[in-house]
Amino acid sequence: MRRHAEFDPQDFLPYLLNQAAEALSLEFQRHYRGQYGMLRTEWRVLFHLGCYGEMTAKEICVRARLHKTKVSRAVAALQTKRFLTRRELERDRRHAVLQLTAKGNRVFADLSRAAHAFDSEVRAAMTHDEAEVLHRCLVRIARFETVQRTG
Amino acid sequence: MRRHAEFDPQDFLPYLLNQAAEALSLEFQRHYRGQYGMLRTEWRVLFHLGCYGEMTAKEICVRARLHKTKVSRAVAALQTKRFLTRRELERDRRHAVLQLTAKGNRVFADLSRAAHAFDSEVRAAMTHDEAEVLHRCLVRIARFETVQRTG
DNA sequence: AACTATTGGTTGTAAATGTAACTAACAAGC
DNA sequence: GCTTGTTAGTTACATTTACAACCAATAGTT
């Protein structure tokens, strides 16, 4: 049936990578979406604040490689959910340091635990060596030449 | 600075996988979007038709793991671009076999070449063995238990 | 101080996506 | 033939995202 036998979608890395990423994202969504009504970007922002501690929106943009509008909206949503607070800096009132509330920290702790468990579950499908290689390759690919989008 | 040192976003597979997938997708977009004004789903549908030959929308849904509405819209778009034609089956007029036009095939050939080149470029960042492991792991992950979405 | 450029962040609007409800064709049971 | 169920595909509407324009604060220049 195949006409251009020289190229199977499964062998095209962007395609395969997307399939894999989507499979995992969709599965993990259940946790932050189902339990807390959060969107993916909100989860990412919370995740970063939880992992690294307080920081400005700009820092999140750079670290998480998210566009500032996405972060802006996610922060607003997390704020109305009372998961974080913003504190303006006097020395430069353009910046606002974001910080998880106690509630936000509890949610982070819960999701962090779920993430850990999920991660282990996925890793169980491969050997330790394979996981090492996978990680190394993904990091390399993630750093692959991309257009500016941290604006 | 890190507070919960036990978990770095970079170590969370869904996250890392997403970063990697997005980096590649964004980069490859230039080809199908910039040159032909195609959306990602359109490119995927074209890709599948090009690789495997004519098939129905339903078959594309299953193979590409895309929801039927996405495929429906992509097919409509590709049709107005004159990249494919649809031929109803007499024996079951619910089905329509989709087939690339000559123009569609030329576009596929061009993008297929670009995809090949891009794939090689990415693979150049790793050894042959690494690429093998990566591929194997990704296929395994892509098949990971997911909710039904080929409906 | 005034003038421009840059930066952090928000908002408006169009495009894209997800979900559910729908239509049309067929199939099975009666 | 008529009802009920299923399947392929479309459409309508709500949610999400992308992109550009915008605002306010600061920095740099004169």
CATH code for the structural domain at B12-142: 1.10.10.10
| Residue showing tokens 């190394």 | A136
CATH 1.10.10.10 fits A26-142, yes or no: yes
pLDDT given at position A6: 60
Question: Which residue pairs from A123-132 have beta carbons closer than 8 angstroms and sit at least 24 positions apart in sequence?
Answer: A123/B13, A125/B137, A125/B140, A125/B141, A125/B144, A126/B137, A126/B140, A129/B133, A130/B133, A130/B136, A130/B137, A131/B137
Using C1' positions and the CA of A37, the closest nucleotide is: D15
pLDDT given at position A5: 52
As averages over each run of 10 residues, the pLDDT of chain A (151 residues) reads 64 94 94 95 97 96 95 97 94 93 97 95 95 96 61 34
B63-102 pLDDT, tens digit each: 999 999 999 999 999 999 999 999 988 889 999 999 999 9
Q: Where are the alpha helices (DSSP H) in chain A?
A: 13-29, 36, 40-52, 57-64, 68-80, 102-123, 128-142
Interface test with B, best of A6, A10, A16, A110 (most B CBs within 10 A): A16
Torsion angles phi and psi, residue B96, rounded to 5? -135, 125
Q: Which residues touch strand D (CB under 7 A)?
A: A 39-41, 67, 69-70, 73, 91-94, 149; B 56-58, 61, 68-69, 71-73, 75-76, 94-96
**Where are the domains positioned within chain A?**
26-142
- For residue B52, give the nearest of A1, A15, A138 by CB distance: A1
CB A68 within 7 Å, strand C: yes
Confidence of residue B145 (pLDDT cuts 50, 70, 90): low
pLDDT given at position B3: 52
* Of B69, B21, B26, residue with least CA distance to B45: B69
How far off is chain A from B120, nearest CA to CA, in Å? Answer: 9
**Which residues of B are less than 8 Å from A119 in CB distance?**
11-14
How far off is chain A from B81, nearest CA to CA, in Å? Answer: 22
Chain C, protein-covered positions (CB within 7 A): 7-12, 16-21, 24-27
